[in-house]
Structure 1
């Protein structure tokens, strides 16, 4: 028996489809896209992947398709997995993994990539997988873009990212000459989609003992030969064949996983599959990109698989206008609902609305709720031979099980399971919130009056105030209740004529930050936020702080690409800028023209500006390898002398463009190239003295001297990490984080006016330590929760509901599993011992 389990489908916060194949004995394989939010979906649904063998990537490899893969690899490695194979149909995969070399590092896991040529077959003792590589344009797309030398360099980099043995001390990948190497130039646009046929090894027939005895076969080794399909010769010369003593073998239906990124691929797919042998084909999964039109052209292709099958094939379709926009992370959504019941204007009700394809739903008579928005691509019904009972909607609940069958004797055995009950916020409120007896909280005030209401920047009063959205508030890796850290701060500037201009800045952006925003806001509100987004700041290179940045940049470009005067300032450690450039050369070169990059080091509150290391030129790589093989002392990388000069001109331009008075960083006490920061914003064109100072800790131990007393002193707002509870001070020292009391002490010494505590350990997924903390000297403070919207002028209002928070999460505390220490899951420098529980 084999089961296909959808892990993610296209929703607001998981954009891509991912399929898990599991055998009856527990072997597991991924097929599809590892988009941001994939591993959080595994956690939400309590799906373990310790027996994961292989990942078969489909379609193209843009960040949207594999943005969750780096974090997934880190988590798999830390769970004790010793080997993992990535399969794909183009050698660009080596380049992609190599771009992560500055922040993805794990010892003890053998990560390999397998480039599958068109029609190549991969086989193990469970499944057989055949690749189908479809080129968007045969003339313009090369099947290989790297020569043998370049491939060797990329392969070596990947192997060094995942060494077998633990480093003896703290490790900085950017100082390793085997990793800090220039990557090959990438000039060709890679437009290829990889697809797979999956077939299963047949089940041999039952051994007919009585028949074997009748034929004179003695018990023992000859029985074993027959069961293995080998014929035998008895002492009397009689030949006995397996067919005489074995029942007929049983077979499984085969499965196709087809990934069509956009309409321009359709003709190539038709050409590739027009002569496809549909015998024993039981299911076709269609992973359709947003730019695929649901029309007759698409179904002309799909109808190919009806050929000679007489309605035996099932079709499972994934598309953003077909799959439902269900709540992917129910635990997080329920937390938001409970918190909204306590502070109704501090949270948006997670959105589930979607525009569906009228062509698909009406042609196949699929049910939709009354009042659902629909759009159509053509005036006439879809012209297709597919029966409505044979086409299905890809969604998380839609598992498919294949069991063996006898060919020519019985139909293929394919069972499709679906138990999706109608979603109702009112029912959820009545079941989980109403019993808590919160005053002033009712279905009317929390649900009906707030459906599709945006509580960010939505009143005349708020438009003049600083506002903060704590999009993610956890640490290490995404969990059921808290996503990894990200904070958006809106700072309005009042011009001389009275017009208000918003400056939105993003402080770190962990994986799936964009998904959270799409779940919180309408498309129109998202557009407004990104048109006002002026700066992305990254505090350090740990993956839980930046795996969402590429998605944020791509979304920003979507709304600003046509504005010639629009730019975004990106302030990061220098290694991350190298990653951005290497990645966007692959995906979106035009976006590079709109980015104004400044190193965090150039804002350092110090006379000494640390120099970055120069990458080893590509042509010198063999020399590096030779030195290593001769056991010579590892080459020390040269320093870039020019990098010690602050980019004064660009900093001055940023101050002018964003109405900033001053910005400083100091070195955080956490890892190499980690920073805390403070920015003073001008707020009023009529009053130069009206400023607002915001300070952000990033990850750090308490930094009283440089952060509290120097760059952050007298901040209007301090946003500080508070990873661990107070009794875990030793852990905080070991992991270079702060306890809650230590974060408060930094605020007190800083003389901060207001304080937001965030970045809580995932071992406390719901509530941080609210009691037994030292006194907060700030005028107001609050604890951050995911998707919290807080007006700076009203930060302290949360304190009024502190007594009710423990009551709010009593239900979750009862269900909570034993916690485990995951603080360093995505930390490439603090190498943790792998969990052996699996």
Structure 2
């Protein structure tokens, strides 16, 4: 390992002295390592090739099975996402933040995803697009088509510095109302819903039509600056707080993943830095023509919401072989002719008509997906002629919509005009609501692991308070028997429902449809399905449910675990007797995984609470807002969100800040719900380059910069502070802190570590992502607790160097050098989904972080005692990672031996 570490003789002073924080010498040495350690995924090209072959083969047929499935219910903190899948391909309607995590848990085959339909360009609908694009790129999807409002493609332009799309072609569909989308599965009409003021003052057609120029954009930040608030929105002392950095526009051309890349030729490198988007029939390999500022603002002001009227392609009726046998039709070509709709004459002279031996043709059911964002869109919706064609006034039964999926907010659904519009559909039309009226957050896995961890300590691992998931009362020992009893635990519901395999699907559509407008709504849970072909309607038997009894029994059945649990409980009782009560400060881990979320570890996020009403978020990966809602519950989370006074972002990799927009919007709603009129914007401590992204989002999509005041991390570096002390003092007072300082660390450009000291002198240091850094050791000297990333196990030290992360031993050693009283390891590679590999360096002051783990200063003494019980609890997982490590070592030994033999033969041939 020392061979690799000597390539990185960084110190905090040399990093600070360079405006890019990397000297050319260091870059050259890093590239030399990358040259011999290529990291480019080689499987993508082959996967894309296979995918194209399969697609070409299947595209000639109309599939016999097509199903809609609720992935994200739109509940508070949960994504909004509806999945349509056939035998051949997949379609996604809306892609809210957290969609890829639920897709991973519920085994949705993103490798077949080809089209994403977005109703409106708002974070609630498209916050999961960047992460989902990276995931489908990695599994070999060659291209994907986005459907939606004007300017939707700008989301990938805006995020291109930290969401690197190289092997995925993104097409932008022409979604003008004159156009339709059609393939072998379905036909989609686009309906534009407009605000009333836009309708009364119509723009020229090319203003809100879908034009090529709208996806030929580069990020423009002419108005971006570190001082982001208007005077009227600055409240309390924050009205005088502003960044001391220059008010010049912030532009960011930094490649934040340069340290992980293979060396490209100049032409390849140039292509990798551009986004390939295709609009209509013309490919735009490099985006060079900026969309005008006027067009960007107009798209945002217009706020077009696109509704989708979808119809499955007609399918000939299936051949009834039993009927064919009865009528004497022999095997052979006659069957094919009958299936094709042709009448035939048998050798006996008997005429057999096609209609006698075939099921009726399926013309294809109609379903509608829409969002009416506010009551201002109601005129456009209720008067829309295209929608009326599929209501009760339809000219033909086949035109009546069988299903309407509403992404419309609850407050709009409650409007009398919206209800009246819904009443105009046929009584046979079903309505599924995907908004905050639902309560299911979609994950069973997070409850499974929390119930298990709760056995160890109900204070460190409290049970989650989102109550929107069904709780199973009993489950048969026979896995093949799907008869279950479940009790709905969502608020006031107390009805018991018996779910059986042979239930009539349509009988499950609504809970005892009362004769009120509420009976129009179906409140689904994740994995609620609606089968469109063959026509079977709604099926709720697969909706997720949690089974605490099963999780606990499963854990207690692990060999030696009950004994280890008893020993642990005794130790914890003894330790607690020595401690005094100290509830705050408190640390809640919201995300402890790296890179992408999986079902048990979300991406980076920590809630640091100095008291009951002052909270600071440290890093904000995708789904951080949802994690807060899941931990505290829908009601209590509003109080917590409203009292978040600051957010710290360590660096600009997506897994550390892509959840910022959702969290800011969630906080704004919570303040409104709590009626806290005196609440002003929060403080955002982050690299100043973050404004390139935030101001662009504000300009193109939704107002966001009014929610925060930026204080650049670079202005707070511990040995060279720039931010004025007289301005920092009142900020610290508001945050209930006595000190807050940063340092540069050894990761990507503009990466920081931070230390915070509360008013009682408790010091917390957080590394962000970094290799071992002397600057962090100096900054965190004598910390009460160090939270340090430990992405890799020790045997992967070389990989850690390439990706500029730390191993577990390196993180522990940093804690030893800074004399930290307690060390908590986090940011584990997702290969360690449940538990990292232990080593001899795990001393008595070292603990392991889990999602939804909450500790105060007293609990830090207890956390290391959990390790033996954890190792038994996750014995199967731990054995798996040990076996992988053994196989890896054996492979390396074979390679080393082969290389040695090769060198020996070369020497012998020379002599």
| TM-score range for the pair, normalised by the shorter chain length | 0.7 to 0.9
> What is the match of residue 423 of structure 2?
303
> What is the match of residue 95 of structure 2?
34
Q: Does 1:527 align with 2:622?
A: no
Contact 1:173 1:180 in 2 (8 A): no
Contact 2:144 2:169 in 1 (8 A): yes
CA deviation after TM superposition for structure 1 residue 745, in Å: 0.9
> What is the match of residue 797 of structure 1?
862
Any idea what the Cα deviations from partners look like across 1:481-539, whole Å, max 9, x if unmatched? 111110111124xxxxxxxx754211101111111111111344323323432211111
Q: Does 1:764 align with 2:832?
A: yes
SS at match of 1:292: helix
Any idea what the Cα deviations from partners look like across 1:276-312, whole Å, max 9, x if unmatched? 4464233222233232344754332122221xxxx54
- State how far apart, in whole Å, the 2-side matches of 1:508 and 1:227 are: 60
The correspondence for 1:666, drawn from 736, 743, 753, is: 743
> What is the match of residue 575 of structure 1?
689
Contact 1:70 1:104 in 2 (8 A): yes
Contact 1:107 1:166 in 2 (8 A): no
In structure 2, relative to structure 1, the CA distance for the partners of 1:653 and 1:167 (3 Å cut) is farther
CA deviation after TM superposition for structure 1 residue 804, in Å: 1.1
> What is the match of residue 713 of structure 2?
600
In structure 2, relative to structure 1, the CA distance for the partners of 1:468 and 1:6 (3 Å cut) is same
Give the alignment of 1:434-453 within 5 angstroms: 434-436=556-558, 438=562
Q: Does 1:103 align with 2:162?
A: yes
CA deviation after TM superposition for structure 1 residue 381, in Å: 7.1
The correspondence for 1:331, drawn from 441, 445, 457, is: 445
The correspondence for 2:306, drawn from 189, 194, 197, is: 194
> What is the match of residue 403 of structure 1?
533
CA deviation after TM superposition for structure 1 residue 228, in Å: 9.5
Q: Does 1:77 align with 2:137?
A: yes
> What is the match of residue 677 of structure 1?
754
CA deviation after TM superposition for structure 1 residue 750, in Å: 1.3
Q: Does 1:781 align with 2:835?
A: no
Q: Does 1:253 align with 2:365?
A: yes
SS at match of 1:480: coil
Give the alignment of 1:341-490 within 5 angstroms: 341-353=455-467, 369=488, 372-373=491-492, 392-403=522-533, 413-420=535-542, 423=545, 426-436=548-558, 438=562, 461-463=581-583, 465-490=584-609
> What is the match of residue 700 of structure 1?
770
> What is the match of residue 551 of structure 1?
662
- State how far apart, in whole Å, the 2-side matches of 1:460 and 1:328 are: 39
Contact 1:282 1:414 in 2 (8 A): no
SS at match of 1:346: coil
- State how far apart, in whole Å, the 1-side matches of 2:544 and 2:733 are: 52
- State how far apart, in whole Å, the 2-side matches of 1:403 and 1:150 are: 35
In structure 2, relative to structure 1, the CA distance for the partners of 1:423 and 1:402 (3 Å cut) is closer
> What is the match of residue 214 of structure 1?
none
- State how far apart, in whole Å, the 2-side matches of 1:432 and 1:349 are: 17
CA deviation after TM superposition for structure 1 residue 462, in Å: 4.0
Contact 1:397 1:417 in 2 (8 A): no
SS at match of 2:823: strand
> What is the match of residue 21 of structure 1?
84
Any idea what the Cα deviations from partners look like across 1:684-723, whole Å, max 9, x if unmatched? 5xxxxxx2332111111111x2211x22222222110001
SS at match of 1:574: coil
In structure 2, relative to structure 1, the CA distance for the partners of 1:401 and 1:603 (3 Å cut) is same
> What is the match of residue 63 of structure 1?
123
CA deviation after TM superposition for structure 1 residue 677, in Å: 2.0
- State how far apart, in whole Å, the 1-side matches of 2:607 and 2:830 are: 21
SS at match of 1:700: coil
SS at match of 2:111: coil
The gaps in structure 1 that reach 5 residues or longer are 212-218, 231-241, 357-366, 405-412, 446-458, 493-500, 610-644, 685-690, 821-838
Contact 1:101 1:157 in 2 (8 A): no
Q: Answer with 758-767 or 243-252: which moved more.
A: 243-252
In structure 2, relative to structure 1, the CA distance for the partners of 1:140 and 1:37 (3 Å cut) is farther
More helix by proportion, 1 or 2?
2
Contact 2:447 2:464 in 1 (8 A): yes
- State how far apart, in whole Å, the 2-side matches of 1:602 and 1:748 are: 28
RMSD in angstroms over aligned alpha carbons?
A: 4.5
- State how far apart, in whole Å, the 1-side matches of 2:490 and 2:144 are: 46
CA deviation after TM superposition for structure 1 residue 656, in Å: 4.8
Any idea what the Cα deviations from partners look like across 1:180-218, whole Å, max 9, x if unmatched? 97972526524332111112222346899xx9xxxxxxx
Give the alignment of 1:184-223 within 5 angstroms: 184-185=293-294, 186=297, 189-204=301-316
In structure 2, relative to structure 1, the CA distance for the partners of 1:124 and 1:518 (3 Å cut) is same
In structure 2, relative to structure 1, the CA distance for the partners of 1:791 and 1:244 (3 Å cut) is closer
Any idea what the Cα deviations from partners look like across 1:18-76, whole Å, max 9, x if unmatched? 2221222x211112x21111111111111211121110112x22212221111111111
> What is the match of residue 113 of structure 1?
172
CA deviation after TM superposition for structure 1 residue 402, in Å: 2.7
CA deviation after TM superposition for structure 1 residue 584, in Å: 3.1
Aligned residues, how many?
690
- State how far apart, in whole Å, the 2-side matches of 1:767 and 1:350 are: 20
> What is the match of residue 512 of structure 1?
623
CA deviation after TM superposition for structure 1 residue 473, in Å: 0.4
Contact 1:539 1:674 in 2 (8 A): yes
SS at match of 1:713: coil
Any idea what the Cα deviations from partners look like across 1:84-137, whole Å, max 9, x if unmatched? 11101x213133333223322221211122241125311123321111111132
- State how far apart, in whole Å, the 2-side matches of 1:662 and 1:98 are: 37
> What is the match of residue 802 of structure 2?
734
Q: Does 1:6 align with 2:82?
A: no
Contact 1:189 1:586 in 2 (8 A): no
CA deviation after TM superposition for structure 1 residue 10, in Å: 2.9
Contact 1:128 1:198 in 2 (8 A): yes
CA deviation after TM superposition for structure 1 residue 79, in Å: 1.8
CA deviation after TM superposition for structure 1 residue 247, in Å: 9.6
The gaps in structure 2 that reach 5 residues or longer are 1-64, 220-252, 276-285, 325-331, 343-353, 471-485, 495-512, 570-578, 886-911
SS at match of 2:455: helix
